[in-house]
């Protein structure tokens, strides 16, 4: 059985609250690499939104999250029957 890859999590990752709604922003990449950063948002109801494209920096990933909240609202991460992909 192959070993599970360890992940490095950005210091920008963590809980984010707006309008009384809290989500977990996870920004990560394989530990010990210079790979692009991945971005996922997990709601309190375990809805997961994943961006397909990676980000050159963790700040770019966090800025994209903030832009999505500003554009679509924090409740846009909650939903539906299908996981969201950006």
On whether residue 34 sits in a domain, the answer given is: yes
Q: What's the rounded mean pLDDT across residues 51-80?
A: 94
Q: What's the rounded mean pLDDT across residues 55-73?
A: 97
On whether residue 86 sits in a domain, the answer given is: no
When divided into structural domains, the chain yields a total of: 1
Among 51, 3, 6, which Cα is nearest to 33's?
Answer: 6
On whether residue 50 sits in a domain, the answer given is: yes
User: Is pLDDT larger for residue 86 or for residue 48?
Assistant: 48
On whether residue 85 sits in a domain, the answer given is: no
**pLDDT at 81 exceeding the cut of 80:** no
Predicted pLDDT at 23: 97
Residue-range definition of the domain harbouring residue 51: 7-77
On whether residue 83 sits in a domain, the answer given is: no
**pLDDT at 69 exceeding the cut of 90:** yes
On whether residue 57 sits in a domain, the answer given is: yes
On whether residue 68 sits in a domain, the answer given is: yes
Q: What's the rounded mean pLDDT across residues 5-26?
A: 96
Predicted pLDDT at 83: 47
Rounded CA-CA distance 18/60 in Å is 20
On whether residue 1 sits in a domain, the answer given is: no
């Amino acid at each position: 059985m192959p070993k599970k890859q360890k992940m490095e999590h950005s210091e920008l990752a963590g809980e984010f609250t707006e309008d009384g709604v809290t989500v977990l922003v996870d920004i990560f990449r394989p530990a010990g690499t210079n790979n692009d950063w991945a971005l996922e948002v997990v709601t309190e109801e375990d809805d997961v939104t994943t961006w397909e494209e990676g980000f050159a920096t963790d700040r770019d990933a966090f800025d994209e999250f903030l832009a999505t909240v500003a554009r679509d609202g924090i409740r846009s991460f909650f939903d539906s029957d299908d996981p969201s992909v950006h």
